[in-house]
Amino acid sequence: MSEPTSRPRLGRGLSALLGDDGEDYQELDKARPARELPIEQLHPGRFQPRMNFDEAELKSLVDSIREKGILQPILVRRDPVQDDLYEIIAGERRWRAAQRAQLHEVPVIVRELDDQAALEVALIENIQRADLSPIEEAEGYQRLMDHFEHTQDALAKAIGKSRSHIANILRLLTLPEEVREMVDRGELTAGHARALVGREDAVALARQIAADGMTVRDIENRVSKSSKSRGGKKKSSAKSTDTLALERDLSDVLGLKVSINPKGGENSGRGVLAIEFSSFDQLDDVLRRLNRPIDA
């Protein structure tokens, strides 16, 4: 699906669209400056990618709001169903903190945004503020791809990230649920998680990382030694450096785990290419790429 030419490049232009502080918001919408709305007329957005709110950070924001008020307006759109309510697009944490600070009204800017723009803005606003865990970020990207038929290339352009970043972080969604939850809780870093992608013993390794405080380098060394000990000489010599590099390149392009298994030796020119996917939407994305004209 082609992207409308009128849609803004949200990744590069988010500060122009949203502003990085309250003053930018005001510059953004002089014709529709921030206004006060009763706090009960706002509700969390259904496209909010953030699932977890750090309690210590929230408490700190409550203290700041009590002392200085809300410095940056909350970005909202009218609720599609109830005209007297407003859906939060960016600023749910401020709204939660304002409730704890017992504010009766909050400053808002009302924008007309469709569902796709609402999800894009909510996702990028959180990413730019480093508010999302790697898993939440990946799930936000996957929602954009699933609901709005974004390819990884189109998604990268829309949010101002590299395609390889999109591909690498989407691979985290192939991890077992327990490992993803550990990343969400901050027990594992994104680097740890990437080292576990595709591992059958990912859960056991993840638990050991959390218990022993292992570094990413420790994990990589452990995985390398484990592979050699299990496979012996035959296993370690099964794939050349070039084949492994091709696997990594294809995985980065597709955002999915790719295996190249030579048949009859590395120089035979024969083999099997395996692409792992976890949804038919991911498979459709691969098929669209394969059917794309070479000069496109």
CATH no. for residue 22?
Answer: 3.90.1530.10
Q: Is the pLDDT of residue 100 over 90?
A: yes
Query: Exactly one of 92, 125, 139, 247 is catalytic; which is it?
Result: 92
Percent of residues, the chain, with pLDDT higher than 70: 75
Domain count, the chain: 2
19 shares its domain with 107: yes
Strands of 42-43's sheet in order across: 35-38, 105-110, 74-78, 86-90, 42-43
47 shares its domain with 100: yes
Establish if 179 belongs to a structural domain. yes
Instruction: For residue 92, indicate whether it is catalytic.
Output: yes
20 shares its domain with 127: yes
14 shares its domain with 123: yes
Look at 105-109, 140-144, 251-255, 273-277 and tell me which has the smallest mean pLDDT.
251-255
Q: Is the pLDDT of residue 176 over 70?
A: yes
Predicted confidence at residue 106, as pLDDT, reads: 94
127 shares its domain with 181: no
Q: Is the pLDDT of residue 88 over 80?
A: yes
Predicted confidence at residue 169, as pLDDT, reads: 87
Encode pLDDT of 34-74 as tens digits: 889 999 999 988 877 676 777 887 888 899 999 989 888 99
Establish if 23 belongs to a structural domain. yes
Containing domain of residue 180, as a range?
A: 175-236
Encode pLDDT of 194-228 as tens digits: 888 888 888 998 998 888 888 877 777 776 666 66
| Cβ 158 vs Cβ 11: under 8 Å | yes
Predicted confidence at residue 23, as pLDDT, reads: 36
Establish if 241 belongs to a structural domain. no
pTM above 0.85, yes or no: no
